[in-house]
Amino acid sequence: MMQTDAIQAANLRAVDLICNADPVLIDVGRADEVLAGFSGRVIAHAGPPVSWDGMSTAQRGGVVAALLYEGWADTPDAALALMASGAVALRPNNDLGAVNPMGGIMSPSSPVFVVKEAVSGLIAVTTLVEGRNPAQRFGSFDAATLERMRWLRDVLAEPLGAAIRATGGIHLREIASQAVQMGDELHQRNLAASSLFYRQLFPALMRVPMTEETRQSIVDYFCVGNEQFFLNLGMAMAKAAMRPIEGLADCTIVTVMARNGVELGIKVAGLGDQWFTGPSGTVIGTYFPSFSAADALPDIGDSAIMETFGLGYFGLGAGGPAFGLLGVPSQEAANARVDQMRKITVGANPNFRAPALGSEAMPCGIDVRLVAQQGIPPGIATAIAHREFGVGRMIGAGLAPAPLAPFQAASAAITERSASATVAGS
């Protein structure tokens, strides 16, 4: 197949499936219990496949944290030696149905949010956001980072799961839809969505038996300095919405866009599980005091699932409160960027409209052919990690273009298939 008519029909159907997806947060579980085949000595990471030797510093640091946390190693050096021995397998999160921000390291006992797309029944998974710097997702493996990782697993996960189950499921798209009207583009700004989420969670959470101390620590976790809390949930929402089109014949829409700090990789609905990769971009934006571009790791994280779904950079005009951090000079500049994304997308998502974007629906469904033909790379609104091993901090945020190479390669693969189909059919 892969004829133009069939492609068009498949792409329109895909946008329909994406826009009508209803991702519902249903539970908190352990990664190795929720994800098929994720057990034994295996570590999952953001972005396309990568070897231990080829891994970026932020991911290597996150892996060290994971090995200490899992008890597979007692010291950072022992962790590095274990990884060098090849005894621990590495797998991309996206190949497992998961998405995680920045380094995105997930290990078997990581607590995870479980999001079910109600129409298809498909599941997407994400780790619990850690909170502020330093953090495993930026490559930290210091004592405070490990302590918080254990707190998430050993203290938070169980009552949080109980509360979520007691709500009967939290419809994430409804929260996201409201939040984009409230200044969240839902990648680099998530304050409204986080706050709206707590309103739905807290009544149930207050009915879960726990000690006063535990309750206090949990409420502090949500309310003190965790403005990006909803990012992970938004990512799982986006992943859950994209899963129904994975493998859709003839569809040329990008289903995955993810970076490991070295490469950005994409998958395309009609091209199966194949990754197409190119070099991770440089993030241009704003640095926190005392940091500069010289300290920055290239673009990293599965969080570009937000753009793949049609938020983040694709809804940048909604994110006025985040413009300063992202280095966006004005509302007009933001809206112009969104309009540029309309040139490489098949449709628009009526669930996401922001007053500052003229209430137009945000562009949705990146057609890999349009990116290749027009030479317009998808943009990504993202955080910047420190490049030095062990620092494990966010040092700023900004905008990064995706590399064109993977889109060109995927587009060529589609042309090739069309040609073979024509020959076969002639």
Nearer to its own copies, 54 or 355 (CB): 355
Residue 162 · residue 218 · CB < 8 Å? no
Q: How far is C-alpha 213 from the chain's CA centre?
A: 32
Residue 154 burial by CB count (10 A; 0-12/13-18/19+): exposed, middle or buried? exposed
Hey, is 346 helix, strand or coil?
Answer: strand
Candidates 1, 356, 404, 413: give the one binding its own copies (CB under 8 A): 356
Q: Which two tokens stand for residue 354?
A: 């922001």
Q: Which of residues 223-242 bind its own copies (CB under 8 A)?
A: 223-224
Residue 368 · residue 253 · CB < 8 Å? yes
Question: From the CB of 416, what's the least distance to its own copies, in Å?
Answer: 45
Nearer to its own copies, 86 or 355 (CB): 355
Nearer to its own copies, 128 or 334 (CB): 334
E-strand stretches of 46-99? 89-92
**Residue 420 within binding range of its own copies, rule CB under 8 A:** no
Nearer to its own copies, 144 or 206 (CB): 206
Question: From the CB of 205, what's the least distance to its own copies, in Å?
Answer: 8
Taking the CA atoms of 327, 297, 411 and 350 in sequence, report the sign of the dihedral they define.
Answer: negative
Candidates 4, 216, 420, 422: give the one binding its own copies (CB under 8 A): 216
Q: Which two tokens stand for residue 60?
A: 């290597």
Q: Which of residues 325-344 bind its own copies (CB under 8 A)?
A: 331
* Binding piece for its own copies, criterion CB under 8 A, among 47-55, 202-210, 291-299, 340-348: 202-210
Distance CA 133, CA 15 (A): 37
Q: How far is C-alpha 67 from the chain's CA centre?
A: 22
The count of other CB atoms within 10 Å of the CB of residue 199 is 9
Total residues contacting its own copies by CB under 8 A comes to 31
Candidates 37, 86, 168, 358: give the one binding its own copies (CB under 8 A): 358
Q: Which of residues 108-137 bind its own copies (CB under 8 A)?
A: none
* Binding piece for its own copies, criterion CB under 8 A, among 91-99, 134-142, 215-223, 410-418: 215-223
The H or E element that residue 381 is part of is strand 379-385
Q: Which of residues 55-114 bind its own copies (CB under 8 A)?
A: none
Residue 348 · residue 366 · CB < 8 Å? no
Candidates 51, 211, 359, 426: give the one binding its own copies (CB under 8 A): 359
Distance CA 43, CA 34 (A): 15
Q: Which of residues 161-200 bind its own copies (CB under 8 A)?
A: 178, 181-183, 191-192, 195-196, 198-200
Question: From the CB of 28, what's the least distance to its own copies, in Å?
Answer: 20
Nearer to its own copies, 198 or 291 (CB): 198
Question: From the CB of 227, what's the least distance to its own copies, in Å?
Answer: 9
Nearer to its own copies, 49 or 321 (CB): 321
Walk across the sheet containing 23-30 and list its strands: 123-127, 111-117, 23-30, 170-171
Residue 382 · residue 345 · CB < 8 Å? no
Distance CA 179, CA 186 (A): 8
Q: How many CA atoms lie within 13 A of 260 on its CB side?
A: 29
The count of other CB atoms within 10 Å of the CB of residue 277 is 21
Q: Which two tokens stand for residue 95?
A: 């190949």
Question: From the CB of 354, what's the least distance to its own copies, in Å?
Answer: 8
Nearer to its own copies, 121 or 209 (CB): 209
Question: From the CB of 212, what's the least distance to its own copies, in Å?
Answer: 8
Question: From the CB of 294, what's the least distance to its own copies, in Å?
Answer: 32
**Residue 321 within binding range of its own copies, rule CB under 8 A:** yes
Nearer to its own copies, 297 or 318 (CB): 318
Question: From the CB of 20, what's the least distance to its own copies, in Å?
Answer: 22
Residue 274: CB partners within 8 Å, gap ≥ 6?
Answer: 267, 268, 413
Nearer to its own copies, 8 or 181 (CB): 181
Nearer to its own copies, 191 or 344 (CB): 191
Nearer to its own copies, 63 or 322 (CB): 322
Query: First and final CA of the chain: distance in angstroms?
Result: 12
Residue of 357, 394, 368, 282 lying closest to 2 (CA atoms): 368
- Positions in the binding site for its own copies (CB under 8 A): 178, 181-183, 191-192, 195-196, 198-200, 202-203, 206-207, 212, 215-216, 219-220, 222-224, 320-321, 331, 354-356, 358-359
